[in-house]
Structure 1
Amino acid sequence: MPEGDTVWRAARDLQAALAGAELTRTDFRVPRFATTDLSGRVVEGVASRGKHLLIRIAPGPGDDEGWTVHSHLKMEGLWHIYNRGERWRRPAFKARAVLETVSRQAVGFELGILRVLPRSGEDEAVGYLGPDLLGPDWDPAEALRRLEAVPERPVGLALLDQRNLAGIGNVYRCELCFLVGVHPLTPVRDVPDLPRLVDLSKRLLEANKSRSRRITTGLAGRDPLWVYNREKRGCLRCGTRVVHELVGDNELELRDLYYCPRCQPPPDLGEAASGAGTLEG
């Protein structure tokens, strides 16, 4: 499941393959940008912003400013890098973007969002995001302030909201709540040590950003996660059956939630599971 660490690696690999090279062909396979042609322009660089990916392209003849290819992987998306002429490892009908240079080819498959924006449009696309856990703008005090701004919101929903801190997805929110011993539906105001949770979020993503396999247990073998997707195997710490629920701010935003009822005893919630606000990706 793509989260901030996955997108960070994608940006790193695309940067190595494309930065400084001239595009010889571009192909955007979404109706709105199907006729957009950025060939002849140079890729200036690639950056991740939370779970968003920004490929920045220099101005070309007649352009007033540069361009940004903005993508979000959502649930199934990914970018592949190939040598020119190399066979794709995914079906061509799943490709949404193709960026070619003289020697390389970057292909975005099943991208949840794909847009080609003037450089000035970047802020509109990602400016709402909170501090990026893996970015140069990381600011733990600001992330803490944003989380605390809605104290009644369940912490498991607040962590997923990219307006608070950018880069946490479903796996990390479940594992983080487990690691600090907090039930994910605990209101933010009742989390015993919220600064520790923010600090652990940063450290966990940093530890995993260069790994091909996400690990939260310190065990690189068959048990890399404590509770996520372990409803049939039990909590890795105590063996208690892991609870799996669908929780969200509304019926359209339900997402998988995993927790250990023994290691993370539930608070007296009432209707707290409904949260406050909406999730932003």
Structure 2
Amino acid sequence: MPEGDTIFRAARALNRALAGRTITGFHSAYPLLTRFNDDHPLTGQTVQSVESRGKWVLMHFSGGAKLVTHMLMNGSWHIYKPGEKWRAPGSAARIVIETADYVAVGFNVPLAEMHTADSLRRERRIPAAKGDLLNADFDTETAVARILAEADGELGDVLLRQRVMAGVGNVFKSEVCFMTGLYPFRKVGTLTEAQVREIVDVARKQLAANVMEDSGDRIVTWRGVGRRTTRSSAPSESLWVYGRAGEPCRKCATPIEQRMQGKDARVTFWCPNCQR
């Protein structure tokens, strides 16, 4: 499943392509979206902005509606010039938004809903801006308090709870625990407030480091490099522990271990020496 950095980059590219432009066509394979467009035509409206909230993409229209999508495992947004050949079959297109300059296509998007400002505030699945690690309005104090409130939860599992702190996925979960030297299976109630603050700080810095670019206002949909948490430029040394079970720790050479964690049985990686 894409993590917060991937969704942030997708939303940023969509925003650069669509923000301020007039919609010339809207099509969807989903009856509820089609019905909404029939009742409240999006054609003629402008896209005000596109943002990410954790693992959700939010597209705001001038008429007040907000298209909210979640990629889960296989969904993706593509951006094309009008008439450009799509890189995925048309049968996989779930949402198509056309403007004079660009066409945005949501392929295999499994979750798509229309919201108003009021319904969006009431929707518990979608994080508020201040709960998103990559949002300029992120509230550190609230995140720290929410983590501390999960005293009975295991640290690695709590970091995946988007209502607690949005944007961390399975890769960053293991990487943040390693970089803070914390055992991912320990109870949150055993942590000090200082340790929790460090967790939040490291998580925010690591996600931010993976959305940096030097492209100005150009539309960038693929950076050509993978996710990175180490300072090494070598592709084979980009992560500390994730996906490295049995390999030597990059700090102490102890073999990295892995184990399933949480009710969703998500795999967690850690160094048994650095994270006792």
Pair 1:92–1:210, CA change in 2 (3 A): farther
Q: 1:71 aligns with which of 64, 69, 72?
A: 69
Q: What's the offset of the Cα at 1:33?
A: 2.3
After the TM superposition, which residues 1-281 of structure 1 pair with which residues of structure 2 at under 5 Å, given as runs?
1-37=1-37, 38-59=42-63, 66-125=64-123, 129=127, 131-191=131-191, 193-210=195-212, 212=223, 213-221=226-234, 222-231=236-245, 233-248=247-262, 250=263, 253-265=264-276
Give the letter aligned to residue 201 of structure 2.
D
Q: What's the offset of the Cα at 1:77?
A: 2.0
- Provide the C-alpha distance between the structure 2 equivalents of 1:118 and 1:180, rounded to a whole number of angstroms: 40
Q: Deviations over 1:1-38 (max 9, x none)?
A: 41111111111111110011111111122243244432
- Provide the C-alpha distance between the structure 1 equivalents of 2:87 and 2:117, rounded to a whole number of angstroms: 31
Tell me if structure 1 keeps the 8 A contact 2:77–2:106.
Answer: yes
- DSSP 3-state at the match of 1:160: coil
TM-score scaled to structure 2, two decimals?
Answer: 0.86
- Provide the C-alpha distance between the structure 2 equivalents of 1:109 and 1:236, rounded to a whole number of angstroms: 38
Task: Provide the aligned length of Structure 1 versus Structure 2.
Answer: 256
Deviates more, 1:142-151 or 1:131-140: 131-140
Q: Deviations over 1:183-239 (max 9, x none)?
A: 111111223522111111111111111263321011121211011111253433333
- Structure 2 spans left out of the alignment, 5+ residues: 214-222
Deviates more, 1:117-126 or 1:41-50: 117-126
Tell me if structure 2 keeps the 8 A contact 1:72–1:114.
Answer: yes
Q: Deviations over 1:129-167 (max 9, x none)?
A: 362111132111111100111212111111111111111
Give the letter aligned to residue 102 of structure 1.
A
- Provide the C-alpha distance between the structure 2 equivalents of 1:95 and 1:220, rounded to a whole number of angstroms: 36
Pair 1:94–1:240, CA change in 2 (3 A): farther
Tell me if structure 1 keeps the 8 A contact 2:20–2:47.
Answer: yes
- DSSP 3-state at the match of 1:87: coil
- DSSP 3-state at the match of 2:153: coil
Q: What's the offset of the Cα at 1:128?
A: 5.9
Tell me if structure 2 keeps the 8 A contact 1:11–1:46.
Answer: yes
Pair 1:88–1:125, CA change in 2 (3 A): farther
- Provide the C-alpha distance between the structure 1 equivalents of 2:137 and 2:178, rounded to a whole number of angstroms: 27
TM-score scaled to structure 1, two decimals?
Answer: 0.85
Pair 1:175–1:16, CA change in 2 (3 A): same
Give the letter aligned to residue 254 of structure 1.
A
- Provide the C-alpha distance between the structure 2 equivalents of 1:116 and 1:128, rounded to a whole number of angstroms: 13
- DSSP 3-state at the match of 1:22: coil
Over the aligned positions, Cα root-mean-square deviation in angstroms equals: 1.9
- Provide the C-alpha distance between the structure 1 equivalents of 2:267 and 2:191, rounded to a whole number of angstroms: 21
Pair 1:174–1:18, CA change in 2 (3 A): same
- Structure 1 spans left out of the alignment, 5+ residues: 60-65, 266-281
Pair 1:259–1:93, CA change in 2 (3 A): farther
